[in-house]
Structure 1
Amino acid sequence: MNRLNIQQIKEILPHRYPFLLLDYVEDYQPGEYAVGYKCVSYGEGFFRGHFPEEPVMPGVLTVEALAQTGAVAILSCEENQGKTAYFGGISKCRFKGKISPGDKVRLETRIIRKKGPVGVGEAVASVEGKTVVSAELTFIVG
């Protein structure tokens, strides 16, 4: 397994606090897939307003965390090092559950198509084995 800690992730991704949404990568294969984790804490700033009575991680941030996971797979390729992966589109996105403080979110993105600087990743976020978000994410490396 190819494991990455937060410092190694920061060498690949341009994101920084508070928008870096990966805590560690459990495994990845450059250009193929990445599996990462987000350990969700009640101290996350978004919980102050989403929602104060029932804190839930915003779905769009879960999609962003999945995109960052896919970006680790894409940007770890030798030809893409030092570049940025931008969103090109989101399709087939489904929200099937919620993420709350204390959850450890498993983020897996597999690259299913690539042509030049454009590609598509199949992404799934899960908590305790239950899928909470799934989507196809299009990226453009620039």
Structure 2
Amino acid sequence: MSETPSTPSALSIPRILELLPHRYPMLLVDRVVSLDPETGIHAVKAVSFNEDFFQGHFPGRPVMPGVLQIEALAQAAGLLAVEALGLAGTGKLVYFLAIDNAKFRKMVEPGHLLDLKVEFLQRRARICKFKGEASIDGEVTCDVEFTAMIEK
């Protein structure tokens, strides 16, 4: 059975690496559970004590920085944009333009599986607006709206 572009699909690390320019230590998407260009993306970040940022944030009480939760959501949005807009293989990058209404609701600690859900709010030729939500076991840790630009 052939898969249509609107069929939700999972992505493995090799495919994620094909679509995103990020690499260690900045790659913050470990797996894509589902991606549907019309409805959004559900990805996962497995938060490990081995993450570099835990060395200084905070010694004795490791907490994932909120800005890195937003970065993980932005990387998921980048995957969504690349697939939805047919940018795979073009070498075009997706850049942040604005971050709005960011709220941090719960701490993310080593051992957590961070669910990343992102949907389009607006889609234009080069500018896209997204709504993102990060959660652990159904409890929201961060929600945010952001705007990104596709380079020419």
Question: Given the two structures, how large is their TM-score scaled by the length of structure 1?
Answer: 0.96
3-state secondary structure, aligned to 1:102:
coil
When residues 78 and 95 of structure 1 are mapped into structure 2, their CA distance, relative to the original with a 3 A threshold, is closer
- Tell me which of 8, 26, 31 is aligned to 1:24: 31
Percent of aligned pairs sharing the same letter: 35
Conserved 8 A contact 1:118-1:139: yes
- 1:44-59 counterparts in 2 under 5 A? 44-59=51-66
Conserved 8 A contact 1:6-1:24: yes
When residues 32 and 140 of structure 1 are mapped into structure 2, their CA distance, relative to the original with a 3 A threshold, is farther
- Tell me which of 42, 45, 49 is aligned to 2:49: 42
Q: Give, in whole Å, the separation in 1 of the partners of 2:96 and 2:61.
A: 30
Number of aligned residue pairs: 142
5+ unaligned residues in a row in structure 1: which ranges? Answer: none
Amino acid at match of 1:73: L
- 1:107-118 counterparts in 2 under 5 A? 107-118=116-127
Q: Which runs of 4+ in 1 moved over 4 A?
A: none
Q: Which has the larger radius of gyration?
A: 2
Q: CA shift at 1:78, angstroms?
A: 5.2
Question: 1:29-86: CA deviations, max 9, x gaps?
Answer: 1364111000011111100000011000011010000000011110113532231110
Aligned: 1:126 with 2:107: no
Aligned: 1:93 with 2:105: no
Match of 1:74 in 2: 81
